[in-house]
Amino acid sequence: MKCPFCGNADTQVKDSRPSDDGAAIRRRRLCAACGGRFTTFERVQLRELTILKRNGRRTPFDRDKLERSLNVALRKRPVQPDQIEQLVSRITRQLESLGETEIPSHVVGDFIMKALKSVDEVAYVRYASVYKDFRKTSDFAQFLGDEGLSDPDPRG
């Protein structure tokens, strides 16, 4: 593994342990040249996934992009980083288990929506506002009504 600090190819594994419910190996590494320490993760990848965008473009699946999307939706919400990592792993496994190498982007979005709804309804609505391209407040009201998330008017 190449050192991210100095680019040296000679790094040593100092510690390995299971991470992420046994779905990954966490390795602490030390660079022989600069003494820098860093962590790497090794995960099983069942197949190379390609995301088919709405406009027809194809892009490689990016686990980090999935994690960033979840982090944006869950910003300032009472969800721990390890919960987010578990969501990323679960969604990735779901995508890999579809048996397809090309997956439409709306399938990824639907998996994210389902995962967020089970964890935090505010994050779910935040993500939906971008994913469903809300343009005005009535779009929010319509979505909340359709999803049964809005509280009934306490005044009757």
- pLDDT, tens digit, 9 for 90 and up, residues 58-88: 999 999 999 999 999 999 999 998 899 889 9
Answer yes or no: do 22 and 61 share one domain.
no
In a domain, 156, yes or no: no
pLDDT interval class at 129 (50, 70, 90) = confident
In this predicted structure, the answer to whether residue 95 has a pLDDT above a threshold of 60 is yes
Structure tokens belonging to residue 37: 């320490």
At 79, is the secondary structure helix, strand, or coil? coil
In this predicted structure, the answer to whether residue 153 has a pLDDT above a threshold of 60 is no
Answer yes or no: do 85 and 103 share one domain.
yes
Alpha helix positions (H), 54-156: 63-73, 81-97, 105-119, 121-131, 137-147
In a domain, 69, yes or no: yes
Q: What percent of the chain has pLDDT over 90?
A: 51
Answer yes or no: do 67 and 135 share one domain.
yes
Instruction: For residue 85, give every residue at least 6 positions away whose Cβ sits within 8 Å of its Cβ, in sequence order, or none.
Output: 20, 67
When comparing pLDDT for 75 and 152, which is higher?
75
User: Which pLDDT value is given to residue 115?
Assistant: 94
Instruction: For residue 60, give every residue at least 6 positions away whose Cβ sits within 8 Å of its Cβ, in sequence order, or none.
Output: 48, 49, 50, 51
When comparing pLDDT for 42 and 123, which is higher?
123
Answer yes or no: do 26 and 92 share one domain.
no
Query: What's the total number of domains in the chain?
Result: 2
Structure tokens belonging to residue 93: 């496994």
User: Would you tell me the crossing angle of helices 63-73 and 105-119 to the nearest 10 degrees?
Assistant: 40
Provide the residue range defining the domain that includes 91.
Answer: 46-147
